[in-house]
């Protein structure tokens, strides 16, 4: 019979002191690697056959060779990471395929190995598990949020087929969060936040409390290190007092159980750091003001004994009203079962007592993984069946018509929100997210019930559609065959994504014309805010690029999606604007290149008879080239200096180059001023002037400094367009202090146009400096 107390020690949660632990250094990393593998082999030999262990060894060697030469941030061989993930998977007791997949989980993503090769060497099942864990690294995404959404969607799809995918992924994330100290500060915060918002709640949804606690505490270390340190140090200072209190309570409960002839195991723990942090943050309290820091578990052999122990606890201590929960009679969706009660001891300190069987305890510690580790001893035949994980498929179905931002937000609601448990009139239990309304309840029963709902009763009393349901209430939905269907306002009242998705589907199916009209009005309203019109997007040249950017086949399809809530009008308008700016910039660059090529060809023809100095034969007749009259010359090649980009109206001077004709500078150009003072070059500077009859256009450069903000580039291009100024080039650099430096190459006819456009640009919100480029 297994030693249950040893199990409890193995299952203990992450503690603050462990945060700074580092493995003992070994001179040869490969000696250490082999030793660590032997430790893995010792773990798995308890439940893996010799043939399975041999396959696992082959997988280890394949992964080690595939990652040869790759190093982690701490300088260790990369294979150490998959090996540690395999250790965590083995601790969950997962099968040999899972352990092989853990060892191989980065090979498809980070090495030359392919899905086909892994399937051939090991098995299609192992290859599918590896593929399910692999991120979408070779695809281009419009935003980080979209990349995160697609990675999560891919993982959930694989998880719906085989839940072992998410178990391996959680083990992968646990080891990554353990070694986060070697990443940059920005990467630390990004990974910690993603872990706290996505992976820890998924672990909770799957009942894997031990890993959930560790991920929460370690994430907090990087997201709020000051608070983490303060709580940890305070807990350390009070450690002796905590130990004394828990020892006394444990002895009292143990003695009472022995007196009643009840066989059970009792132990206590202090709540983990993140749990305390959340309570301090939510209730705005100091640590000294939080009293329910303690939780005790009583583990017995069967369910009737759980209720007997509950009676003993309530007889020994004063019960806190409203704090009793029976998760044995009504299990949580993640299969968690236990009796919870909060009581107050003789010292006046409240503490929680959780009472469960050993089977329930294994489920609470390992969640769905307990199906594999303890399947021989469990009586619950539903564990691991398709029905158990139907919520994953429902979640994916509910996300079909949502954008990345909505997907992430609704995912958090579906997986991670607190829950309420309500009853149908037939006493069937329906679990909903906290804050759910009768609308959520109706659609949880069936989409037809929600679509035909006209009213609702709670405990026999009629309530409004915005009524927030409470646990234990009996809900009845009033329906009518003549109901007109859901209202658009229901989208705002519904809390669950399941209800919102079904409402969207109804509007998508039943109200297409209305959706198109509603969506068009919303889209055009957003365009108006951006200073655009629909006509700017629907030209023959522009429309295909816009549709590709917003990812719809037609504008009508986009309008319909916006109308039923499947797309955001604001995001579509922003993407259209960005593409408009991009296409305008590309067109300007193309025209500039063509014009430059034509000018270069003409200049080369004119220079064919030039002297070695670039000066053609002199003459008395004034003749302009490119709009510039060169004193004493009738034919020569003229070019405009890029350092100061002169335009008509600017005082100018000319410099006779060697082989390239005359270079025209602004008279105040620093290069010209310095050159005219240089004795060796003084004689090469000549008089030039603008031809008043010229109709040419000229390039010049402007520098802008502005506060960086969304829409800045669009506002600037709008000013230029309204002034009929052609932009030939634009370059933007975002500065570390939140400002942006922008260089514009524009086409003008005279210096007066430059002055006008500079004045207009100075009026754009956030722009605080506009200047001509001068040397």
Q: Which residue has the tokens 């955001």?
A: 568
Cα angle: 335, vertex 338, 344; to 5 degrees: 150
Question: What is the distance between the alpha carbons of residues 654 and 658, in angstroms, rounded to a whole number?
Answer: 13
List, as one string, the DSSP characters of 362-415: HHHHHGGGHHHHSTTT---TTTTSGGGGHHHHHHHHHTTT--HHHHHHHHHHHH
Q: How far is CA 731 from CA 7, 577, 704, 728, in A?
A: 62, 18, 10, 11
Provide the token pair at 159. Answer: 């998880």
Query: What is the arrangement of strands in the sheet containing 453-458, beginning at the earlier edge strand?
Result: 461-463, 453-458, 475-479
Question: What is the distance between the alpha carbons of residues 364 and 373, in angstroms, rounded to a whole number?
Answer: 13
Which residues, in sequence order, are CB contacts of 728 under 8 Å at separation 6+?
588, 589, 591, 592, 699, 745, 746, 747
Question: What is the distance between the alpha carbons of residues 637 and 606, in angstroms, rounded to a whole number?
Answer: 6
**604 classed as catalytic:** no
Element (H, E) at 297: strand 294-300
Please state the separation of Cα 51 from the chain's center in Å. Answer: 41
Q: Which segments of 261-367 does DSSP mark as H helices, in order?
A: 273-283, 303-316, 358-366
Question: What is the distance between the alpha carbons of residues 20 and 212, in angstroms, rounded to a whole number?
Answer: 19
Q: How far is CA 299 from CA 261, 323, 327, 600, in A?
A: 14, 20, 15, 88
Question: What is the distance between the alpha carbons of residues 378 and 493, in angstroms, rounded to a whole number?
Answer: 41
Question: What is the distance between the alpha carbons of residues 277 and 344, in angstroms, rounded to a whole number?
Answer: 22
Contact 40, 83 (CB under 8 A): yes
Which residues, in sequence order, are CB contacts of 717 under 8 Å at separation 6+?
581, 584, 727, 730
Q: Please identify which of the residues 52, 91, 95, 110 carries the catalytic annotation.
A: 110
Pairing of the two strands 339-344 and 350-357? antiparallel
**109 classed as catalytic:** yes
Which residues, in sequence order, are CB contacts of 280 under 8 Å at separation 6+?
227, 231, 286, 287, 290
Q: Please identify which of the residues 41, 52, 91, 109 carries the catalytic annotation.
A: 109
DSSP 8-state class, residue 775: -
Cα angle: 444, vertex 446, 452; to 5 degrees: 110
Question: What is the distance between the alpha carbons of residues 141 and 513, in angstroms, rounded to a whole number?
Answer: 31
Number of Cβ within 10 Å of residue 329's Cβ equals: 11
Q: Which residue has the tokens 């009676």?
A: 311
Residues identified as active-site:
109-110
């Amino acid at each position: 019979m297994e030693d249950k107390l040893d199990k409890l020690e193995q299952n203990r949660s992450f503690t603050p002191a462990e945060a700074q632990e580092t493995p003992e250094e070994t001179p040869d990393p490969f000696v250490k690697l082999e030793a660590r593998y032997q430790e893995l082999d010792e773990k798995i030999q308890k439940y893996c056959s010799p043939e399975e262990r041999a396959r696992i060894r082959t997988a280890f060697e394949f992964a080690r060779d595939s990652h040869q030469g790759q190093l982690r941030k701490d300088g260790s061989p990369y294979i150490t990471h998959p090996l540690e993930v395999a250790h965590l998977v083995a601790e969950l007791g997962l099968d040999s395929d899972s352990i092989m997949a853990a060892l191989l989980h980065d090979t498809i993503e980070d090495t030359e190995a392919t899905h086909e090769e892994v399937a051939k060497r090991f098995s299609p099942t192992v290859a599918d598990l590896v593929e399910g864990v692999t991120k979408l690294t070779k695809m281009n995404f419009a935003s980080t949020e979209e990349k995160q959404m697609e990675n999560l969607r891919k993982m959930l799809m694989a998880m719906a087929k085989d839940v072992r995918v998410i178990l391996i992924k959680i083990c992968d994330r646990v080891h990554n969060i353990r070694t986060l100290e070697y990443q940059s500060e920005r990467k630390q915060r990004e990974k910690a936040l993603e872990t706290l918002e996505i992976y820890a709640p998924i672990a909770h949804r799957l009942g894997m409390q031990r890993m959930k606690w560790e991920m929460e505490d370690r994430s907090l270390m990087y997201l709020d290190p000051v608070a983490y340190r303060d709580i940890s140090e305070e807990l350390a200072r009070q450690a002796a007092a905590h130990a004394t209190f828990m020892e006394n309570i444990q002895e009292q409960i143990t003695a009472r159980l022995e007196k009643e002839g009840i066989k059970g195991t009792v132990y206590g723990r202090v709540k983990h750091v993140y749990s305390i942090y959340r309570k301090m943050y939510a209730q705005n309290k100091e640590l000294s003001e939080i009293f329910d820091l303690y939780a005790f578990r009583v583990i017995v052999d069967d369910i009737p004994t759980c209720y007997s122990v509950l009676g003993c606890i309530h007889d020994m201590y004063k019960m806190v009203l409203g704090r009793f929960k029976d998760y044995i009679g009504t299990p949580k969706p993640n299969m968690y079962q236990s009796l919870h009660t909060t009581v107050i001891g003789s010292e006046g300190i409240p503490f929680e007592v959780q009472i469960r069987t050993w089977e329930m305890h294994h489920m609470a510690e390992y969640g769905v993984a307990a199906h594999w580790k303890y399947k021989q001893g469990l009586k619950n035949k539903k564990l691991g069946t398709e029905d158990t994980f139907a919520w994953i498929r429902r979640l994916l179905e509910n996300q079909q018509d949502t954008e990345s931002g909505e997907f992430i937000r609704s995912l958090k609601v579906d997986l991670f929100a607190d829950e309420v448990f309500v009853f149908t009139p037939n006493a069937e239990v329906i679990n909903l997210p906290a804050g759910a309304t009768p609308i959520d309840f109706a659609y949880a029963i069936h989409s037809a019930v929600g679509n035909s709902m006209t009213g609702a009763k709670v405990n026999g009393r009629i309530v409004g559609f915005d009524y927030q349901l409470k646990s234990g209430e009996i809900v009845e939905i009033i329906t009518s065959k003549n109901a007109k269907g859901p209202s658009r306002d229901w989208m705002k009242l519904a809390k669950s994504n399941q209800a919102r998705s079904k409402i969207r589907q109804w509007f998508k199916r039943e109200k297409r014309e209305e959706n198109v009209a509603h969506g068009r009005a919303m889209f055009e309203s957003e365009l108006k805010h951006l200073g655009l019109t629909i006509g700017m997007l629907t030209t023959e040249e522009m429309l295909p690029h816009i549709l590709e950017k917003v990812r719809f086949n037609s504008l009508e399809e986009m309008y319909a999606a916006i109308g039923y809530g499947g797309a955001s009008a604001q995001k579509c308008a922003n993407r259209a604007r960005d593409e408009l700016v991009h296409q305008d910039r590309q067109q300007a660059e193309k025209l500039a290149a063509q014009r430059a090529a034509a000018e270069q060809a003409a200049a080369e023809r004119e220079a064919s008879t030039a002297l070695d100095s670039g000066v053609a034969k002199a003459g008395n007749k004034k003749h302009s080239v490119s709009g510039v009259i060169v004193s004493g010359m009738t034919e020569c090649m003229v070019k405009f200096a890029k350092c100061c980009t002169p335009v008509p109206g600017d005082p100018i001077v000319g410099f006779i180059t060697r082989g390239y004709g005359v270079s025209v500078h602004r008279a105040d150009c620093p290069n010209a001023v310095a050159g005219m003072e240089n004795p060796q070059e003084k004689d090469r500077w000549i008089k030039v002037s603008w031809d008043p009859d010229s109709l040419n256009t000229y390039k010049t450069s402007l520098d802008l400094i502005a506060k960086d903000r969304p829409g800045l580039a669009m506002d600037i291009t709008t000013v230029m367009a309204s002034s009929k100024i052609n932009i030939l080039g634009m370059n933007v650099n975002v500065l570390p202090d939140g400002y942006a430096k922008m260089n514009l190459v524009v086409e003008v006819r005279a210096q007066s146009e430059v002055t006008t456009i500079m004045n207009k640009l100075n009026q754009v919100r956030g722009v605080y400096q506009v200047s001509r480029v001068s040397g």
